[in-house]
Amino acid sequence: MTRIVTIVVRQLPPTSTEAKLELGWQVDENWSPKFWQANGAAVGQHVTSDLVTVPSEFMARHGIIIAQSGSGKSYFLGRLVEELLLKTKARVVILDPNADFRAVNQLKPSIVGGQNEEYPTEELSSYKSDWTKIKKTVFRVNPSGRDGGTQSFELWWPNVNIDVVAQELSLIQRAEFAHCHRFVGLMARLFESSTDHQLPQGLDGLLDRCEQLFFHSKQHDIDNGETFVSSVIDNFRDLFGLRSSREKYEALQRALMPTKYVSDDTGRFYFSRARYFQLAGVLSDRPHAEEYSQRRLTVVDLPSIPDLDTRSLAVSSTLNLAWRVARSEWENALMASPVEDHRVPTFVVLDEAHNLIPNDPRSFSAAAVREQFRTIAAEGRKYGVFLLVATQRPDRLDTQILSEFENKAIMRISSAQVIETIISQLGLTGREASMLQVVPSLGVGRGVLLGRWSGFEPTRFATAARRTVEGGRSLRSEHWTHR
């Protein structure tokens, strides 16, 4: 008896090829790019083996670039950001302390080798169209008309995370401050949703009315429910009209209830702080829709922010938004099928990281911001949020965060003490530790990749050319060194 066996071949859907980020060039014993040493070498004629590449999957780790000033670390960081945006679907949020990414919307007209040792991997035409399509925004305080593609950095006060603002207060005062902020937030939503009264004139009107309502509530028995609310409506008829619905009574009572827990002094401090940040130019006059999830690149131009307290508020609010969106996307993904999980990672990029993530914060607000970075370092992988930082002072960087970096790039460092700190704090041993003996003599743009993204084998590289215009600029020696 003959048995017929039918074999069913199921064709699997095609899988996309994983992208490789082209970070730099393979170098010879003199740390010169091998490809560019050959006669007739030209842009675009190289092969993959001429490059130092990183599989995009290996980027889903916290990464750090360590190098002294003038070594090319910011330039390399720029190239890394470009590769993430051009080769993957990742989002990038840059907290830019040196205005280095201020001109990220602008592409260099050409990239050629020369005194700056820029080694391009492709012609402008091959990536210009892709770069133009990337949705990106540079945020500045009071941008000028010359800043193309730049928007005003503004926060809607009722949505601000006030933890960083109230850190210098006692525990009781912080609780009161939070109650006052909740009151203002509820009043803002009440104003926005009501239809039978006139909305206060912008943020000024909102703060004025809320301050008046706050001190009015302190003079009356707020627990006497409807009688109290009626007195409020009688005294603020321009806001609430002559008659109000039961729903409005109840909504107004809920909004005013937090004020019973706030002292007069804390109330005065709260409204003075709101006015302070308003005068600093970082608060918007109206609530605005957040487009964060639709943007691939967000740059916050920190030098445009006038003082450290306001800068801390801006950094804290930016981190809070990125974290909140990532957590929300994570929650939604858990309720769906794994094949429907379309989340992308968010890379929080920070140059001069020791200034915002110091071992020893010098203010309460700085300590609050550091705690946010610590949370990202400890829990970010679960939600797809990763730190990508650069620093010239790893000895001043928070040690708790420093220990979390799996991807490392080390460029020129002259200080033996800093090198010992790197070996100790990053837990380097064997070949990785011995490789650092060469970093004091490295030229500009040269470095070593260590950790996960190099397959745990130290990899030497010369940075590939950056395509976008660098916003920062050094002194022009030919101008000032002679009269």
Q: Collapse the DSSP code of 155 into the 3-class scheme (helix H, G, I; strand E, B; otherwise coil) and give the result.
A: strand
In this structure, the answer to whether residues 98 and 163 fall within a common structural domain is no
For helices 264-279 and 308-334, give the axis angle rounded to 10 degrees: 100
pLDDT in tens, 276-320: 999 999 999 888 766 777 789 999 999 999 888 899 999 999 999
CATH number at residue 309: 3.40.50.300
The overall average pLDDT reported for the chain is: 85
Say whether pLDDT at 234 is over 70. no
**HEC secondary structure over 45-75:** CCCHHHEEEEEHHHHCCCEEEECCCCCCHHH
**Contact status, residue 463 vs residue 410, Cβ threshold 8 Å:** no
What stretches of 331-402 adopt beta strand conformation (E)?
Answer: 346-350, 385-391
Considering the domain boundaries, does residue 197 fall inside one? yes
Q: What percent of the chain has pLDDT over 70?
A: 84
Average pLDDT over residues 123-149: 84
In this structure, the answer to whether residues 453 and 306 fall within a common structural domain is yes
- CA-to-CA separations, 239 to 45, 157, 212, 333, 426, in angstroms, rounded: 70, 20, 12, 42, 59
Containing H/E element for 216? helix 202-218
Considering the domain boundaries, does residue 285 fall inside one? no
Amino acid at 405: F
Written as six digits, the tokens of 397 are 């960087």
In this structure, the answer to whether residues 448 and 315 fall within a common structural domain is yes
Least confident of 44-53, 112-121, 314-323, 440-449: 112-121
pLDDT in tens, 322-353: 999 999 999 999 988 888 888 999 999 999 99
> Can you tell me the distance from the alpha carbon of 455 to that of 55, in angstroms, rounded to the nearest whole number?
10
Considering the domain boundaries, does residue 7 fall inside one? no
In this structure, the answer to whether residues 169 and 301 fall within a common structural domain is no
User: Which domain range does residue 243 map to?
Assistant: 158-279
Amino acid at 346: T
In this structure, the answer to whether residues 303 and 427 fall within a common structural domain is yes
- Rounded to two decimals, what is the model's pTM? 0.87
> Can you tell me the distance from the alpha carbon of 228 to that of 256, in angstroms, rounded to the nearest whole number?
10
In this structure, the answer to whether residues 62 and 162 fall within a common structural domain is no
Say whether pLDDT at 191 is over 60. yes
Which residue among 235, 251, 279 closes a domain? Answer: 279
Which residues pair with residue 107 across a beta bridge?
468
> Can you tell me the distance from the alpha carbon of 464 to that of 75, in angstroms, rounded to the nearest whole number?
9
In this structure, the answer to whether residues 270 and 316 fall within a common structural domain is no
In this structure, the answer to whether residues 314 and 445 fall within a common structural domain is yes
